[in-house]
A and B are shown apart, each in its own frame.
Chain A
């Protein structure tokens, strides 16, 4: 098994308390399912929508990314899968896709093969 990172972008936020609860239930169910099938390595965390960027040789500190930005990574999860193809298949069950703007990035973790 190899490890893969799911990076979440463009998820729906906000809504009525009812909608928020339903959304939470769907995410919880999906994560539980991944865990039950032995794919969950680390549920991860949601990320605050502000931050800083430190750039270049000068290590210039600037604001960013910004909350409205399409690039904003909203959270991450670490999973285990047989290969990238399987990891992608597993990602398709994510409730994030209820949002038009959702983008789920799947990145293999680089490992040292002895």
Chain B
């Protein structure tokens, strides 16, 4: 709703749009407290927001300037109501979300601020909830979002999604932001939970909106949605019903969402059009390789290693290198995996990453070096970020200590 109202009021009136939405929520919930919830609450909320917007437009049209592109249409009582009807139509609303998505990926904003803004404005997360997603304090996140909104409100207008050249130029940034959003939910570092499925769902929802737009329907977008679907398919096994974290090798694969796997595979096929190969393609390929194995033992690790080799050429990050080393260990044995880790150039960048130490621990354990493994798992535990990770790592420590030679 904020996206739609910002379109109507103009991006410089972003704060007004937020106020109207907040107001609509308050009113709706007050009435529903007394008279019960309606059958279609979101339609009700939309209608309320629209009516409040109409009030604001009528009351303030002499005092304020609204969206420059809509100008005269909003000033005249003859055109006001029908224009509002059009602006609130379903397809217009989706377009508004797209416009807002692109606007939030403002070049002057750092990546984290772009993601934070999308979560706050498009996904309706409160400051607290966004702070939770990024392991920030409320105050720090408030500052970041306020500053980002100022920058956004300072642009002359919302991003124009009809300008093909600009759209294509900004699309990679939008894709990256949505990728980061998904990752935050999947590999989250929040102090409460290792996995936040709602962030993954929001990311997937927003990519779907992108795909509905002719300019957004690119192989890279398909690849991104493929990778999201294929990874999200594993979520029900990644965190079990008691909230415990399970490594890939150890997941109950019957819990994987086969429908999502199917959709992911479909998008992966669509992404094969054209000659563009992005990181998303490769990561989706890796996720697909995992999805195809009915049991961990049946995984085609050689394929996965070669995909990681490709990924390293596109994105030589230490985490990619680590995952590649783990895949090599699966294919050629734990000693080889340890060799690969030791030869990684920038391992020191992983010192705050619990799964770096956990991977070392896993490999040492498989080599039979229980004491070394235990030390690594303890180091991992020291940088663990939430109770799920800590429980998982305690479990591994216990395995090292169990049947230890006296």
- Mark A residues whose CB is within 8 Å of B: 13-14, 16-18, 20-21, 23-24, 27-28, 31, 43-46, 75, 77
Contacts and interface: CB of A to CB of B under 8 A. Distances in A.
Contact of B33 (A16, A17, A18, A24): A24
B211 interface: no
A30 to B, nearest CB: 9
Contacts of B35: 43, 45
Interface of B: 22, 25-26, 29-37, 124, 126, 128-129
B25 A45 contact: no
B126 A28 contact: no
B25 to A, nearest CB: 6
Nearest to B27: A46
A14 B26 contact: yes
A28 B124 contact: no
A28 B31 CA distance: 10
Contacts of A24: 29-30, 32-33
Contacts of A45: 31, 34-35
Contacts of B129: 16, 18
17 contacts: A16-B126, A16-B129, A18-B126, A20-B25, A23-B33, A24-B29, A24-B30, A24-B33, A27-B33, A28-B33, A28-B37, A31-B33, A31-B34, A43-B34, A45-B31, A46-B31, A46-B33
Contacts of A28: 32-33, 36-37
A41 B35 CA distance: 13
B26 A20 contact: yes
A31 B25 CA distance: 20
Contacts of B33: 23-24, 27-28, 31, 46
A17 B124 contact: yes
Nearest to A16: B126
A82 to B, nearest CB: 24
Given A20-B26, A20-B29, A75 B128 contact: no
A31 B128 CA distance: 30
Contacts of A43: 34-35
Contacts of B32: 24, 28
A77 B126 contact: no
A77 B34 contact: yes
A16 B128 contact: yes
A44 B29 contact: no
A14 B23 CA distance: 8
A97 B128 CA distance: 25
Given A18-B126, A24-B29, A28-B32, 8 more contacts: A13-B26, A16-B126, A23-B29, A27-B34, A31-B34, A43-B35, A46-B34, A75-B34
A95 to B, nearest CB: 9
Question: Which of B22, B31, B34, B37 has its CB near the most chain A CB atoms (within 10 A)?
Answer: B34
A101 B281 CA distance: 57
Contacts of B22: 14
B25 A17 contact: yes
The 5 closest A-B CB pairs, nearest first, are A27-B33, A16-B126, A24-B29, A46-B30, A20-B29
Contacts of A46: 30-31, 33-34
B178 to A, nearest CB: 22
A18 B29 CA distance: 11
A45 B25 CA distance: 16
A27 B37 CA distance: 12
B25 A44 contact: no
A46 B33 CA distance: 9
Nearest to A45: B34
Contacts of B25: 17, 20
Question: Which of A13, A14, A28, A44 has its CB near the most chain B CB atoms (within 10 A)?
Answer: A28
A46 B29 CA distance: 10
Contacts of B36: 28
A24 B25 CA distance: 11
Nearest to A11: B30
B17 to A, nearest CB: 15
Contacts of A21: 29
Contacts of A44: 34
Contacts of B26: 13-14, 20
Contacts of B124: 17
Contacts of B29: 20-21, 23-24
B83 to A, nearest CB: 26
Question: Which of B33, B35, B128 has its CB near the most chain A CB atoms (within 10 A)?
Answer: B33
A11 B33 CA distance: 13
Contacts of A18: 126, 129
B353 to A, nearest CB: 31
A15 to B, nearest CB: 8
B34 A17 contact: no
